[in-house]
Chain A
Amino acid sequence: MSIVEFRKVTKTFGNVVVLDEVDLSVEDAEVVVLIGPSGSGKSTLLRCINALEEINGGDLVVDGISVREGRARVRLIRQEAGMVFQQFNLFPQMTALDNVAFGPRHVRGTSRAEALEQARELLGKVGLADRGHHYPAELSGGQQQRVAIARALAVKPKLMLFDEPTSALDPELRQEVLRVMRSLAEEGMTMIVVTHEMAFARQVGTRLIFMENGKISVDGDPAALLANPENPRLREFLQHVH
């Protein structure tokens, strides 16, 4: 069974249709890269998966649970679908270490000592072993985003959602975040990534989806699509991105 399955999902904001009967299945260990012009619905599609946005029509099943099953069940989905935000959204009153240890302690009921030990390990994994006692305000954007990735991973999700994770970063800081994401993909993590990083899509992505006006208009192999975009709108879009 697919880990994420959209069945004719519709999402509207007032009169605006943001997702228009979207069908999409994502399998284990896929790295799906979502691209498209702003307003095409790619961020909304991502945010529907962990129910930060409520869908208006159709059904959306994540890890066997429908987003329509109610609040308690939605929390189970969120525990299995870690999210990384464009603006990092680290908890400012906590150190990097406490940010990462927070989820396991309060969601999984892990003991403080164990959660901190695991947090240290995860910070090491994202290359920030020596930054554990710093507050978010004392870290660079790239460092904050890596802490945010560690925070999401700490809850041991089956799936990771990335909402433009490098868009708020300077070019030289993007690479350190993309490196972490790449190694995560190499470990077999299922990932859905909204991004404008075409090099990442080509090298790490297993699947590229191009969205337009709330619909998926192209879905295929990233390398092939980027080398030879037959869809004229995709071709035009790629010219603007490069």
Chain B
Amino acid sequence: MEFEWSVIVGALPALLGGARLTVLIALAGLIGGLIVGLVTGLMRAYGNRLLNGIAFAYVEIIRGTPIVVQVMFIYFALPVMADIRVNPMTAAVTAIVINAGAYIAEIVRGSFLSVHKGLREAGLALGLPMWKVLVYIIGPVAFRRMIPPLGNQFIVSLKDTSLFIVIGVGELTRQGQEIMAANFRAVEIWTAVAVLYLIMTGTLTFLLRLTEKRMRIL
């Protein structure tokens, strides 16, 4: 068979529109997931029994169920159960925030707890309150250790947005699917979709490398 470049050129505007949506969902998801993960990770690492228990339950429930089930639950089950109506985009962003948050929580917990306990003692011994020890002493050391696993999670989450095809969000994979259904050019369309994903994940990798280079791992 012939590889028809013209198919790609014709499909590109729609695919780029889809990619734009993918980036948007992923970005919102990563920022939200980072905040949720930071809070729950610190609850796991330093919280009392109650906070620790809540965070533990959250992480276990989310890690233990597929993201497709989670987004279906938010989009289809929540309206029935609690009369909460959400549009597909909101459901998608919520799902990715909640999902990424659970994984990032474990990254945060691991990084903070991996910091030598002597640093905590040195900070406390100066007379600092615990929150200042976490913010100024342990946090900066832990953050550097979080970069590689965070990069992993960012890439996974970006690709997970393709699963939102099941609730009809017009992201990149969905756009590819729709064009393919009309012209049956599977090779060209899926090649183009794959390359667009690679460009996005490649950019992420590059940005993380840059951050890592600027901060020495301690």
Contacts and interface: CB of A to CB of B under 8 A. Distances in A.
B129 A75 contact: yes
Most B CB contacts (10 A, CB to CB) among A76, A82, A91 go to A91
Interface string B120-148: 01111111110010001100110010000
B118 A79 contact: no
Contact of A79 (B116, B121, B127): B127
Contacts of A233: none
Contacts of A35: none
Given A102-B136, A106-B136, A87 B127 contact: no
A75 B127 contact: yes
Interface residues of B, number: 19
B50 interface: no
Nearest to A76: B127
A103 B122 CA distance: 10
B218 interface: yes
Interface in A77-127: 78-79, 81-83, 85, 87, 89-93, 102-103, 106-107
Which secondary structure dominates chain B's binding surface?
Answer: helix
Nearest to A50: B125
Interface string A37-63: 000000000000010100000000000
A34 interface: no
A18 interface: no
A155 interface: yes
Contacts of A90: 122
A93 B123 CA distance: 13
A91 B122 contact: yes
B207 interface: no
Interface of A: 50, 52, 71, 75-76, 78-79, 81-83, 85, 87, 89-93, 102-103, 106-107, 137, 148, 151-152, 155
